[in-house]
Structure 1
């Protein structure tokens, strides 16, 4: 037997208010989409450096940046007339900023913001700590929450950590030598020298007890680690030996 499926037509009455609400919703979504696209900042160019890689970046305003290894730098192709020339740094870079009294230069970092008109400085920007050395001019250095703000002149440095910002009346020369391939030590304890060498040459260095505070004064330019260790042996009688794991062990007479 063949069955027949019956059907009924049901009419639904929609209140005019529903049409009005839907129209408003569509208009709002459309305006939101337009605003989001219209007011978005110019797309940023992203530069990333790898291990042992330095890169020079020329900005549209004539400013230049030298990026240290393992850093990320974001900047617009052209700076807009918006009151600030804004860029972003996550890592370390040396900045030479073209002067523009009408548009200060702002660097947004991981934990701090730096503002300048025209100057040169070395900036290290990481999540847990940031440090700046002002070589020329004057900068404003502050944490991201604007809880602490310092004005630094030429020859001053500041370090910002979770505990606050410390200002020094001298720049940290050692922090800035990376861009020249130089290592310049002036009466620095061997333990500090070992930290720099360890980071610079990507090797683990251990010190024999008693030699940590031996003071080292020497300048190295484009030298290998072996060449530097030879110099340390001559000037401070520091012996070096590399074990099977590649760890460099330093020993010598107590200081």
Structure 2
């Protein structure tokens, strides 16, 4: 049988064309898949960039003779006492509304939103609420939380406590001890009207808080001495600080010295 060169060459050419066609189809499919993956990845990257914008934090601080009121994006209102600092996001998170009391004292009137709990952080402690009115005093290492309306939960590491209206919790962060008592809550938070309000508090703690508010140094000549408890309600506009010290000295029968930089309790 005679070998047909022309037919053989056509057969080889056909096989090459068929193989090339299959390779082109495979490469085209790979290219199509790669294009789709790039488009999908680009979409999710764009979506992440659009939805995960940096949180703009706002820092509010007050002077030693300033009380400031602010309104959050959810409608909650906060009143910040003298010499206090608070930080919060310009737009509260959609799941957890959270602010930080860095120093001092503030009243929190929280808008009700069962889907978004509200949390205040003070160092290692957290106060969680849904909708309520409460006060936090964090001028010293003792954090005092007073509840006027609603309910709140205070937690710090292994300690937690649920408060009801009219209760005050004082937590000593240094010693890890807590004290719970019944108080006149609305009277205690009346400092927002520029009043000195102290209810059954030891004199040394009263003076320590006043010093913190007025950016003074508090000194105690006898650290181990027990001082009497003080209850006093006085508008700051009606009495200067030196005269208020004289009033406290008279009520406690103690020796108090005030100068431009410090308060000394003997």
Please indicate the TM-score interval, normalised by the length of the shorter structure: 0.5 to 0.7
User: Bigger CA drift: 86-95 or 183-192?
Assistant: 183-192
1:152, CA displacement in angstroms?
1.8
The residue number in structure 2 matching 1:161 is: 173
The residue number in structure 1 matching 2:232 is: 218
CA contact (8 A) 1:96 1:120 kept: yes
TM-score, reference length from structure 1:
0.65
Distance 1:141 1:31, change over 3 A: farther
Listed one character per residue, the Cα deviations across residues 102-129 of structure 1 (whole Å, up to 9, x for unaligned) are 4333334532333222110113569976
Match of 2:70 among 47, 57, 62: 57
**Secondary structure class of the residue paired with 1:101:** coil
CA contact (8 A) 2:245 2:258 kept: no
* Aligned equivalents of 2:180, 2:154: Cα separation in 1: 13
The 5 A counterparts of 1:183-222 are 183-206=196-219, 213-222=227-236
User: Structure 2: where are the runs of 5+ without partners?
Assistant: 1-26
Listed one character per residue, the Cα deviations across residues 175-223 of structure 1 (whole Å, up to 9, x for unaligned) are 7454333223445443233323322333345556698524544322203
The residue number in structure 2 matching 1:107 is: 120
CA contact (8 A) 1:93 1:123 kept: yes
User: Structure 1: where are the runs of 5+ without partners?
Assistant: 1-15
The residue number in structure 2 matching 1:7 is: none
* Aligned equivalents of 2:244, 2:139: Cα separation in 1: 29
**Secondary structure class of the residue paired with 1:169:** strand
CA contact (8 A) 2:217 2:261 kept: yes
* Aligned equivalents of 1:140, 1:242: Cα separation in 2: 38
* Aligned equivalents of 2:261, 2:172: Cα separation in 1: 34
How many residue pairs are counted as aligned between the two chains? 227
Match of 1:141 among 154, 158, 161: 154
TM-score, reference length from structure 2:
0.63
The residue number in structure 2 matching 1:116 is: 129
The 5 A counterparts of 1:1-255 are 33-34=45-46, 36-40=48-52, 43-52=55-64, 53-68=66-81, 69-77=83-91, 82-84=94-96, 86-91=97-102, 92-124=105-137, 130-143=143-156, 147-158=158-169, 159=171, 161=173, 164=176, 166=178, 168-171=180-183, 176=189, 178-206=191-219, 213-222=227-236, 223-236=239-252, 238=254, 240-241=256-257, 246-249=261-264
Q: Tell me which structure has the larger Cα radius of gyration.
A: 2
CA contact (8 A) 1:134 1:171 kept: no
Listed one character per residue, the Cα deviations across residues 82-137 of structure 1 (whole Å, up to 9, x for unaligned) are 444x1321324211112233433333453233322211011356997654221111
* Aligned equivalents of 2:150, 2:163: Cα separation in 1: 9
